[in-house]
Chain A
Amino acid sequence: MKQSPLLSAENLVVKRGKVTVLNVDELKIFTGRTLALIGPNGAGKSTLLLTLAGLLPMESGKIYFQSRQVSNFSDFVMLRRHAAVVFQEPLLLNMSVEKNVAVGLKFRNLSRAQIKNSVDEALAYFGIEQLAKRAAKTLSGGESKRVSLARAFAIKPKIILLDEAFNSLDAPTREAIIDDLQNILQKTKITAVLALHDREETLRLAHDVAVMSEGKIIQQGTTAQVFHQPINEYIANFVGTEVILEGVVKKSEAGLMDVAVSGHIIEAVGDFKTGQKVCCCLRPENITVSKTVPEKISARNVFKGKVLKAARQAYFYKLTLDCGFVISAYITIPSFDELNICEGDTLAVSFKATAVHMIKR
């Protein structure tokens, strides 16, 4: 990436009282990309988000926005005008939905027509045009969340920062809102920083991941990099033990999809549209290996794979296999012995189409 970052931070230190709550050496956020901040509670995700938005006083450090250092008061006002924060709680004002969405635009003294246009557009983004005249406090949790997102997008920010935006929503609502957000981020190409709690959300929404712990960023990279090489146990648990393969849906028919992964086709259950970018997640315990290619087997996916590594765990072996894409399989110790597996062997690898967990990218 040769381009200069939209927003970056150097040696950021934020203290609460005498305690250092944030200590970030370096963070770069590039235009059009979505960065997820992950880490346990109290790791400093919210603090970092608010500091980047110019809302918290820093002890020391530098923030650059569009390659210019944000230093004096008016710089911070400028940064705040271009960065929109969506908090965990919707924080709607006690007025109608459309007035809430218009609030940021009113601060900018725009004309009535401009405000109306932007408000209508933002409401449409989140499919809440019908709520325009409703009083904000009569809304449900999901509706409030949509309004607070629409309010942030209405000001057409250069960067949007979401703090645990999907907590406290029920599963279907959460799904629907994430879907919308994903579409909007793709369509508008607005740069985003999201403090997230969930691996699936991270996989769906983020290009890049920064892992935080005790106020520091301890790992940073693309989502694939971080998920493939978790550097500590927390991340390993967070990303799960699943193998994650990036691919594109080539065919989708009657609930069964063909997904192209590194030149191979994996069959999976689901009904995403053709051309949809996806992550295929496979749990190692759902992978079966055999010496010869099995015949008349119900599993839809059978590949040949070379054993790269066989690592003994407490009660089973973890095999790392190269089938053109790399996957892991757990097999019991008796099976390992009976099949007489050695590193370098070529085995048949099979798994069911229903064992593939698909996540939209």
Chain B
Amino acid sequence: MDLILQGIIKAFHLIVSFDPEVISITWLSLKISGTATLISLFVGVSVGVAVALNDFFGKRLVISIINTGMGLPPVVVGLFVTIMIWRSGPFGFLEILYTPYAMIIAQAVIATPIVMGISLAAIQNLPPNLRLQILSLGASRLQMVWVLVKESRLPLLAAVMAGFGGVISEIGASIMVGGNIKGYTRVLTTATVMETGKGNFDLAIALAIILLLLAFTINFLLTQIQQRQQSR
């Protein structure tokens, strides 16, 4: 009990004193996971919408693959991304292993199927005649897609939350491709693992609390937007 209490007190101290290391780790986590979420939003929504709106051979198979991807184990992603960017791997020439870029790629790979699956379901859940209605009002195909995406903005916000929540708290892939290099690729999750391993529970608890607060704040803001839209 004493351990936890001390940890919390230390954590509080670290947070309110704006400890430079804690701040930089937090900021890096936000940058990496935020960028990865943005990439996944762009790729996930476009592919999700395209799959939802077009009929083609093997569509169900594709949807099954996307849905499976929503539960992709981060270590598997970490493994494959590592192999890809390993010095002798196909993208080895990029020399990005153990850099934040590698972490962004790995996290984007994890978040993209989540965003894709949710946006696909969101578009498919719209009334079937809505597409025809929008076209009949004179929309070009691009305008029609834009209206449909806007119409699914609530589930799409949920997709952002799920995607961001998935990657900010993810550790396996981050540690594999990032390597937890101090001041360079060390993020909240990897730092927490390390400090716990070293027995620095106070620091580990501080990092864990910040991680929780971060995830909560982002989700709280997005939920605010979502609920305001809902009640309009």
Interface set of A (CB-CB < 8 Å, partner B): 50, 53, 55, 77, 80-81, 83-85, 87, 89, 91, 93-94, 103-104, 107-108, 135, 151-152, 155
Chain A contacts for B136, CB-based, 8 A: 53, 55, 80, 83-85
- Complex alpha-carbon distance, A89 and B151, angstroms: 16
Question: For the complex, what is the distance from the CA of A93 to the CA of B150, rounded to whole Å?
Answer: 9
Known interface pairs A93-B151, A94-B151, A103-B147. Does A80 touch B138 (Cβ–Cβ under 8 Å)? yes
Label chain A's interface by main secondary structure: mixed
Query: Taking CB as reference atom, which chain B residue is nearest A87?
Result: B129
**Alpha-carbon distance A83/B232, docked complex (angstroms):** 31
Q: Which of B135, B137, B151 contacts A151 (CB 8 A)?
A: B137
| Central interface residue in B127, B129, B143, by most chain A CB within 10 Å | B129
> Distance (Å) between the CB of B201 and the closest chain A CB?
48
Give me 20 A-to-B residue pairs in the complex whose CB atoms sit less than 8 angstroms apart, sorted by A's number: A50-B132, A55-B136, A77-B140, A80-B135, A85-B132, A85-B133, A87-B132, A87-B133, A93-B147, A94-B151, A103-B137, A104-B137, A104-B138, A107-B139, A108-B138, A135-B232, A151-B137, A152-B137, A155-B137, A155-B138
* B130 within 8 A of partner (CB): yes
Contact flags (1/0) for B122-166 with A, using CB distance below 8 Å? 000001011011111111100100010011000000000000000
Question: Given A93-B151, A107-B143 in contact, is the A55-B137 Cβ separation under 8 Å?
Answer: no
For the A-B complex with A84-B136, A103-B137, A155-B138 known, give 12 more contacts whose Cβ atoms are closer than 8 Å.
A53-B136, A80-B135, A80-B138, A87-B132, A91-B127, A91-B133, A93-B147, A104-B137, A104-B138, A107-B140, A135-B232, A152-B137
Interface residues of B in 89-144 (CB under 8 A from A): 127, 129-130, 132-140, 143
Residue in chain B with minimal CB distance to A151? B137
- Asked if B127 and A89 sit within 8 Å, CB to CB, the answer is yes
Taking CB atoms, residues of chain A closer than 8 Å to B127 are 89, 91
Chain A residue at minimal CB-CB distance from B130: A91
Number of A-B contacts (CB under 8 A): 47
Q: Check if B129 sits within 8 Å of A91, measured CB to CB.
A: yes
A55 contacts B135, C-beta separation under 8 Å: yes
In the complex, the chain B residue whose C-beta lies closest to that of A73 is: B141
Q: Which of B133, B134, B138, B150 contacts A81 (CB 8 A)?
A: B138
Most buried by A among B129, B133, B139: B133
Chain B residues positioned under 8 Å from A108 (CB to CB): 138
Which secondary structure characterizes the binding site on chain B?
A: helix
Please report the C-alpha to C-alpha distance between residue A94 and residue B229 in the assembled complex, in whole angstroms: 9
Size category of the B interface is: 10 to 19
Bound-state CA distance A122–B108 (Å) is: 47
Q: Which residues of B contact A77 (CB under 8 A)?
A: 140
A77 and B137 alpha carbons, distance in the complex (Å): 10
Distance between Cα atoms of A89 and B127 in the complex (Å): 9
In the assembled complex, how far is the CB of residue B56 from the closest CB belonging to chain A, in whole angstroms?
15
A107 touches B138 (CB 8 A): yes
Considering the chains assembled together, what is the distance between the CA atoms of A152 and B138 in angstroms? 10
Return chain A residues, CB-CB under 8 Å to B229: 94
Q: Are A55 and B138 in contact (CB under 8 A)?
A: no
Bound Cα distance A53, B147 (Å): 20
Residues of A within 8 A of B137 (CB): 84, 103-104, 107, 151-152, 155
- Closest chain B residue to A83, Cβ basis: B136
- Cα-based distance from A121 to B72 in the complex (angstroms): 54
- Name which residue of chain B comes closest to A91, CB basis: B133
Contacts of A107 in B (CB 8 A): 137-140, 143
Tell me the complex Cα distance, A80–B151, Å: 21
Q: Contact at A89–B129, with CB atoms within 8 Å?
A: yes
In the assembled complex, which residues on chain A have CB atoms less than 8 Å from the CB atom of B151? 93-94
User: In the complex, how many angstroms separate the beta carbon of A219 from the nearest chain B beta carbon?
Assistant: 27
B19 to A: closest C-beta gap in Å: 45
Residues of A within 8 A of B132 (CB): 50, 55, 85, 87
> CB-CB < 8 A to B139: which residues of A?
104, 107
Nearest-neighbor residue (CB-CB) of A81 within chain B: B138
Chain A residue numbers with a CB within 8 Å of B150 are 93
> For residue B144, which residue of chain A has the nearest CB?
A107
> Quick one: which of B129, B135, B136, B140 has the most chain A CB within 10 A?
B136
Chain B residues whose CB sits within 8 angstroms of the CB of A55 once the complex forms: 132, 135-136
Q: How far is the CA of A53 from the CA of B137 in the complex (A)?
A: 10
Identify the interface centre among A107, A135, A155: most chain B CB within 10 Å of its CB.
A107
A281 CB to closest chain B CB, in angstroms?
35
The 10 closest A-B pairs by CB, nearest first: A104-B137, A85-B136, A81-B138, A91-B133, A107-B138, A107-B139, A55-B132, A87-B129, A135-B232, A107-B143
Which of chain B's residues have a CB closer than 8 A to the CB of A103?
A: 134, 137, 147
Q: How far is the CB of A47 from chain B (nearest CB, A)?
A: 12
Q: Which of B127, B138, B143 gathers most chain A CB within 10 Å?
A: B138
Count chain A CB atoms within 10 A of each CB in B132, B140, B147 and give the residue with the most: B132
Provide the B210-231 mask, 1 if CB < 8 A to any CB of A, else 0: 0000000000000000000100
Closest CB in chain B relative to A105 CB, distance in Å? 9
Nearest CB to that of A85 among chain B residues?
Answer: B136
